[in-house]
């Protein structure tokens, strides 16, 4: 083989063709020792791949020491337990190991066993030496070496283990001589003895070992991070000299720095990969909500991909599952390669008691458990291995907690590959991983609960929808009734009064409004469905004092009268008019006889659902529920665009009946009316007008003849007083005056204040808006000056205000007279007493 493949040949594994080529072996031999070391240091200083670096180091030390072969072992594992004094170790072992398939070095003689028993067992088993490259000769290539299996040597075992543990070199000049007689040498006044040399590996490989030099590799802190070993000095010397030890140690100082840098780089790459896995897991947790099975399966696969081990388990805890884990998920390293990998998302039957074994201990205490030999730990339950063909060795088990630090499960990693122990670094990663797992499992639990709640809600809504809908028989009876004309019902009259109408008459009157506005024909509303929908709407009004079906019917009648009297239906168009009539009929659905303020004070479920316009949002939701119920879908034949438009206008209109919304929008509308700058072709202007119209119709009783207004006012005040009584009784608060039964005598003046602050401004400007309305452009359809049609509304408000003022004045006069009579009576009584005293 040419020099190009020797240590002096081109770089192997560097992956960088731009680097300068290494000197040939022939060129290196002609350099003096100082230049040679300098050249060999340059060769390794930029190498960051650990395996490639080890290969270069071995080839370079072979060149440097004229050695035939070399091996390099790196320390794995962490310091734990009580450190053992290196000088106290008297390990007796051969230079080479007994034969095994992977050339594993072992020494199990009695002296060594006794030594191991004297030392801290966890310390000895937690660290080991692993051969990155073994038996590298001057002609070996990195590719050839990578095909060989790694060799693992227990800490403190054999020559390599002794050198790693003690930090001292070992130089054996003749291995076969040591085979026939014990070989002694002295290090720091301690007598070290190596047993007979085992030549079986030489027999297997056909190679004869003579001289051996084994040297520790230390980092800049003096910690041993590896052991380099060279075999058979070439040339006439036959054995490695003290000078070789000195040169070897000097070069390995640079190698230690290079190896530490490469290991740090390798560790940083691993951390990058682990961080990426954590980020992927976080993304999965917060973006891909799914079942708990799929969530845990992703957790298991991510864990196994980062910490190579035979098995990963997640065992979940649930309060309802007493005595054992609620669900157990088990994932083996070869599961992904199997055809039934999808089946691994299903949990196994829980057969693990929650108070037994390692998992039970962790689930109970929350402590992390990292053990090197399961069968030597009293907390381990060996019964888990019975009959499954699997044996637990190393275990890392950690609690999974939710955001409240409650234990919701445990994650357990079993048997790390290559019989290595789980390190502190593994613990740190699994701890971080467990936090994400806890968040993911908790979120998925919440997601599953939300799905179940939604399913229950769907079923409940379906049941409620069924019971909220009118029966087909009632709808059929309504359908068969004759529908009188609008004139018969006086639906166009602003003074309309429903006092003499039966409930059936109110339903047929609603049918007449739909027919006269051409909604049935224009929107292809099934007449049977319309009848059932009207009955369902009526059915969903509660039997409260005022905000009941009759109030909704009266509001719809006033909207119908205004739209037809002013011809404003031409402004809004058929779709918006349909939405307005539906909104009027539904604007107080399921009203409980209490207002928004009461819902907030009582912290009702409705107030928790809707923070503003509480009841109005509820009315709208009830309206949509009925519209979407089977057999009540009067909008089913609208196009998607028309349906969306109706629902949007419907929501705006119903929310506009909240007086808080009215006050918020009234200023903009009044400014628009005063300035005359309105244009009904603009959607915002029409929305303002629709909102004001809903308030006008909702408060329309104030415009009716005095008999109607007085009757309605008594109903409203009665409902208000009922709410005040509830507030006083259940909430222990004093109601406001308008709801305080004790202030009933002030009702006339409160009505006057209501008219002045709320009613008159909007009715006057609605009137003025009609009075000053100009024709629209031809695309929208113009309408004429119709102010005289709305005069009765303003007149009705003014008239009723005057009536309330008269009543208030009358009450005031009566109170004055009563007080005067009381004063006269009291004065007369005082005079009588005075006279009696005078007589006495």
Q: Which domains does the chain have, with CATH numbers?
A: 30-78+126-269 (3.30.450.40), 288-334+346-382+391-450 (3.30.450.40), 469-751 (1.10.1300.10)
> CA 572, CA 555: separation in Å to the nearest integer?
18
State how far the alpha carbon of 708 is from the alpha carbons of 495, 557, 702, 796, in Å: 9, 15, 9, 11
> CA 414, CA 332: separation in Å to the nearest integer?
10
Confidence of residue 33 (pLDDT cuts 50, 70, 90): low
DSSP state of 402: -
> What's the pLDDT score for residue 837?
47
DSSP state of 19: S
- Give the chain's length: 840
- Report the range out of 331-345, 422-436, 450-464, 740-754 with the highest average pLDDT: 740-754
Choice between 703 and 403, residue whose per-residue pLDDT is larger? 703
> CA 180, CA 196: separation in Å to the nearest integer?
6
Does the annotation flag 457 for ligand binding? Answer: no
Lowest mean pLDDT among 466-470, 578-582, 798-802: 466-470
Q: Provide the 3-class DSSP secondary structure of residue 295.
A: helix
Per-residue pLDDT reduced to its tens digit, 199-225? 666 676 677 888 888 989 888 888 898
**Quick one: tokens of 13?**
């594994």
Per-residue pLDDT reduced to its tens digit, 617-645? 999 999 999 999 999 999 999 999 999 99
Task: Tell me whether residue 547 is one of the annotated catalytic residues.
Answer: yes
Does the annotation flag 135 for ligand binding? Answer: no
Q: Provide the 3-class DSSP secondary structure of residue 73.
A: strand
> What's the pLDDT score for residue 384?
82
Q: Closest by alpha carbon to 585, among 535, 518, 638, 642? A: 535
Does the annotation flag 549 for ligand binding? Answer: yes
Per-residue pLDDT reduced to its tens digit, 64-76? 778 888 888 888 8
- Report the range out of 361-375, 547-561, 566-580 with the highest average pLDDT: 547-561
Per-residue pLDDT reduced to its tens digit, 744-795? 888 888 888 888 888 777 766 555 555 444 333 322 222 223 346 777 888 8
Burial class of residue 82 in the structure, from the number of CB atoms within 10 Å of its CB (0-12 exposed, 13-18 middle, 19+ buried): exposed
> What's the pLDDT score for residue 490?
96
State percent of the chain over pLDDT 90: 31
429-442 residues labelled b (16+ CB within 10 A) or e (exposed): bbeebbebbbbbbb
> What's the pLDDT score for residue 24?
53
Does the annotation flag 835 for ligand binding? Answer: no
Q: Which residue, chain included where needed, has tokens 């009784």? A: 729
- Report the range out of 44-48, 740-744, 791-795 with the highest average pLDDT: 740-744
Per-residue pLDDT reduced to its tens digit, 682-694? 899 899 999 989 9
Does the annotation flag 587 for ligand binding? Answer: yes
> CA 679, CA 368: separation in Å to the nearest integer?
73
> CA 78, CA 336: separation in Å to the nearest integer?
31
Does the annotation flag 831 for ligand binding? Answer: no
Does the annotation flag 619 for ligand binding? Answer: no
> What's the pLDDT score for residue 497?
96
> What's the pLDDT score for residue 512?
98
Q: Catalytic residue among 55, 392, 547, 591, which?
A: 547
- Report the range out of 89-98, 287-296, 434-443 with the highest average pLDDT: 434-443
> What's the pLDDT score for residue 116?
35
Does the annotation flag 524 for ligand binding? Answer: no
pTM for the whole structure: 0.57
* Cα 348 off chain centre by: 26
Does the annotation flag 547 for ligand binding? Answer: yes
Per-residue pLDDT reduced to its tens digit, 504-554? 999 999 999 999 999 999 999 999 999 999 999 999 999 999 999 999 999
Confidence of residue 81 (pLDDT cuts 50, 70, 90): very low
φ and ψ of 716, to 5 deg: -65, -50
Q: Closest by alpha carbon to 12, among 47, 41, 39? A: 47
Q: Provide the 3-class DSSP secondary structure of residue 516.
A: helix
Q: How far apart are the first and last CA of the chain?
A: 153
> What's the pLDDT score for residue 507?
98
> CA 661, CA 463: separation in Å to the nearest integer?
33
> CA 648, CA 687: separation in Å to the nearest integer?
11
């Amino acid at each position: 083989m040419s020099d190009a493949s020797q240590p002096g040949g081109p770089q192997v594994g560097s992956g960088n063709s731009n680097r300068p080529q290494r000197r040939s072996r022939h060129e290196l031999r002609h350099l003096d020792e100082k230049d040679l070391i300098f050249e060999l240091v340059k060769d390794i200083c930029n190498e960051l791949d650990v395996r490639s670096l080890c290969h270069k180091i071995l080839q370079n030390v072979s060149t440097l020491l004229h050695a035939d072969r070399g091996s390099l072992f790196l320390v794995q594992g962490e310091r734990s337990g009580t450190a053992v004094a290196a000088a106290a170790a008297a390990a007796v072992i051969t230079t080479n190991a007994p034969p095994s398939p992977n050339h594993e070095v072992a020494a199990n003689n009695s002296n060594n066993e006794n030594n191991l028993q004297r030392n801290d067992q966890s310390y000895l088993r937690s660290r080991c030496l692993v051969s990155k490259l073994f038996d590298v000769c001057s002609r070996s290539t990195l590719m050839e070496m990578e095909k060989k299996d790694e060799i693992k040597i227990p800490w403190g075992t054999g020559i390599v283990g002794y050198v790693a543990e003690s930090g001292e070199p070992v130089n054996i000049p003749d291995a076969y001589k040591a085979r026939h007689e014990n070989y002694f040498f002295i290090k720091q006044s301690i007598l070290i003895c190596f047993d007979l040399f085992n030549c079986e590996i030489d027999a297997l490989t056909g190679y004869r070992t003579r001289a051996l030099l084994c040297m520790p590799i230390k980092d800049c802190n003096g910690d041993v991070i590896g052991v380099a070993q060279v075999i058979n000095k070439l040339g006439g010397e036959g054995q490695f000299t003290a000078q070789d030890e000195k040169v070897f140690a000097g070069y390995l100082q640079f190698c230690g720095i290079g190896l530490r840098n490469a290991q740090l780089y390798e560790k940083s790459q691993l951390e990058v990969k682990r961080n990426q896995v954590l980020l992927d897991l976080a993304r999965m947790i917060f973006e891909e909500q799914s079942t708990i099975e799929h969530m845990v399966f992703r957790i298991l696969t991510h864990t196994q991909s980062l910490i190579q081990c035979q098995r990963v388990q997640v065992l979940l805890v649930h309060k309802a599952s007493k005595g054992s884990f609620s669900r157990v998920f088990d994932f083996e390293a070869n599961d992904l390669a199997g055809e039934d990998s999808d089946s691994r998302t299903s949990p196994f039957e829980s057969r693990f008691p929650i108070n037994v074994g390692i998992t039970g201990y962790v689930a109970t205490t929350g402590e992390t458990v990292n053990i090197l030999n399961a069968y030597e730990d009293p907390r381990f339950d060996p019964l888990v291995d019975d009959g499954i063909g699997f044996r637990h060795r190393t275990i890392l088990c950690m609690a999974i907690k939710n955001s409240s630090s409650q234990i919701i499960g445990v994650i357990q990693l079993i048997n790390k590959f290559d019989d290595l122990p789980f390190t502190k670094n593994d613990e740190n990663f699994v701890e971080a991983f467990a936090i994400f797992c806890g968040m993911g499992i908790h979120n998925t639990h919440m997601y599953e609960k939300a799905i179940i709640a939604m399913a229950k809600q769907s079923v409940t809504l379906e049941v409620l929808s069924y019971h909220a809908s009118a029966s087909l028989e009632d709808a059929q009876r309504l359908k068969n009734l004759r529908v009188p004309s609008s004139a018969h019902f006086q639906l166009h009259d602003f003074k309309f009064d429903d006092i003499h109408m039966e409930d059936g008459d109110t339903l047929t009157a609603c049918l007449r409004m739909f027919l006269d506005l051409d909604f049935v024909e224009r929107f292809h509303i099934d007449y049977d469905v319309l009848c059932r929908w009207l009955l369902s709407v009526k059915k969903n009004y509660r039997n409260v004092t005022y905000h009941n079906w009759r109030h909704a019917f009266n509001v719809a009648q006033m909207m119908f009268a205004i739209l037809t009297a002013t011809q404003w239906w031409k402004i809004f168009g058929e779709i918006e008019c349909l939405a307005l009539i539906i909104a009027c009929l539904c604007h107080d659905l399921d009203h409980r006889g209490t207002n928004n303020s009461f819902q907030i004070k009582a912290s009702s479920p409705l107030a928790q659902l809707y923070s503003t316009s509480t009841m109005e949002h509820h009315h709208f939701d009830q309206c949509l529920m009925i519209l979407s119920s089977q057999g009540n879908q009067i909008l089913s034949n609208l196009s998607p665009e028309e349906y969306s438009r109706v629902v949007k206008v419907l929501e705006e209109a119903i929310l506009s009946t909240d007086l808080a919304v009215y006050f918020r929008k009234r200023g903009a509308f009044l400014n628009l009316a005063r300035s005359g700058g309105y244009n009904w072709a603009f959607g915002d202007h029409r929305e303002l007008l629709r909102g004001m119209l809903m308030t006008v119709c909702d408060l329309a009783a104030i415009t009716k003849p005095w008999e109607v207004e007085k009757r309605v006012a008594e109903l409203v005040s009665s409902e208000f007083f009922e709410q005040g009584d509830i507030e006083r009784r259940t909430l222990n608060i004093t109601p406001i005056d308008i709801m305080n039964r004790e202030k009933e005598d002030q009702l006339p003046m409160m009505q006057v204040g209501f008219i002045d602050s709320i009613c008159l401004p909007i009715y006057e400007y609605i009137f003025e808006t009609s009075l000053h309305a100009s024709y629209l452009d031809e695309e929208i359809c113009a309408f004429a000056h119709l102010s005289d049609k709305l005069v009765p509304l303003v007149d009705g408000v003014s008239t009723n205000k005057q009536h309330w003022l008269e009543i208030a004045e009358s009450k005031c006069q009566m109170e004055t007279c009563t007080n005067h009579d009381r004063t006269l009576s009291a004065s007369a009584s005082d005079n009588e007493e005075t006279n009696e005293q005078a007589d006495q």
